[in-house]
């Protein structure tokens, strides 16, 4: 009975939530003008280590990147046809300055530090959140969030800075 063994990795993968990078159409716009209306100024990252929200990895020294203001909830809400009202906000994110390939792995990124998993309802209102300190506890935090039928979306964010890292959606 080989089939059940062969199926295992696939089955495990479907139980894991996926980190969503900034979508290519939004990246295209952000590379010209950011969500605060400022013209984007690319620069060469001499040090590396900037968390890139397009490829969901840290930059390597010498890569061309940009720091732009991004409004993840506003863009999600526009796609869903809902109005987040006062919950809309924007903040700084690093992206590649030019078109890039996106993430090359399904592994959950940026779990190397404690993060906030912030929950949102279908109409884009905040429904609380959870501090995640253990890299192994992210999946549990997502499962816990989506166990609440009112939760439609979560943001993984930096704790001290509050910066947006990526979005995870209800499957």
Number of residues that bind Zn ion (CB under 5 A): 5
27 lies in the site for Zn ion, by CB under 5 A? no
Residue 56 or residue 145: which is nearer to Zn ion going by CB? 56
Torsion of CA 171, 156, 56, 47, to 10 degrees: 180
Scanning residues 89 to 118, which ones bind Zn ion (CB under 5 A)?
Answer: 96, 100
- Encode 82-105: b = buried (16+ Cβ within 10 Å), e = exposed: bebeeeeebbebbbbbeebeebee
The minimum distance between CB 47 and Zn ion, in angstroms, equals 17
- Residues 6 or more apart whose CB falls under 8 angstroms from that of 27 comprise 54, 95, 96, 99, 100
Spatial contact of 48 and 86, defined as CB atoms under 8 Å apart: no
Q: Which stretch binds Zn ion (CB under 5 A): 54-62, 113-121, 129-137, 149-157?
A: 54-62
- Of 55, 151, 154, 168, the one binding Zn ion by CB under 5 A: 55
Least distance in angstroms from the C-beta of 13 to Zn ion: 23
Closest approach of Cβ 24 to Zn ion, in Å?
A: 10
| Residues of this chain that bind Zn ion (CB under 5 A) | 52, 54-55, 96, 100
């Amino acid at each position: 009975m080989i089939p059940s063994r062969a199926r295992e990795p696939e089955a495990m993968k479907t139980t894991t939530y996926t980190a969503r990078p900034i979508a290519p159409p939004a990246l295209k716009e952000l590379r010209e003008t950011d969500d605060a209306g400022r013209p984007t100024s690319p620069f060469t990252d001499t040090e590396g280590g900037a968390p890139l929200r397009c490829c969901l990895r840290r930059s390597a020294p010498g890569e061309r990147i940009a720091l732009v203001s991004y409004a993840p909830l506003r863009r999600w809400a526009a796609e869903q046809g809902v109005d987040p009202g006062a919950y809309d906000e924007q903040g700084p994110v690093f992206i590649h300055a030019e078109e890039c390939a996106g993430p090359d792995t399904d592994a959950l990124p940026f779990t190397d530090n404690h993060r906030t998993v912030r929950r949102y309802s279908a109409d884009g209102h905040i429904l609380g959140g959870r501090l995640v300190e253990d890299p192994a506890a992210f999946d549990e935090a997502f499962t816990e969030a989506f166990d609440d039928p009112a939760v439609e979306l979560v943001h993984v964010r930096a704790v001290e800075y509050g910066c947006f890292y990526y979005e995870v959606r209800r499957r």
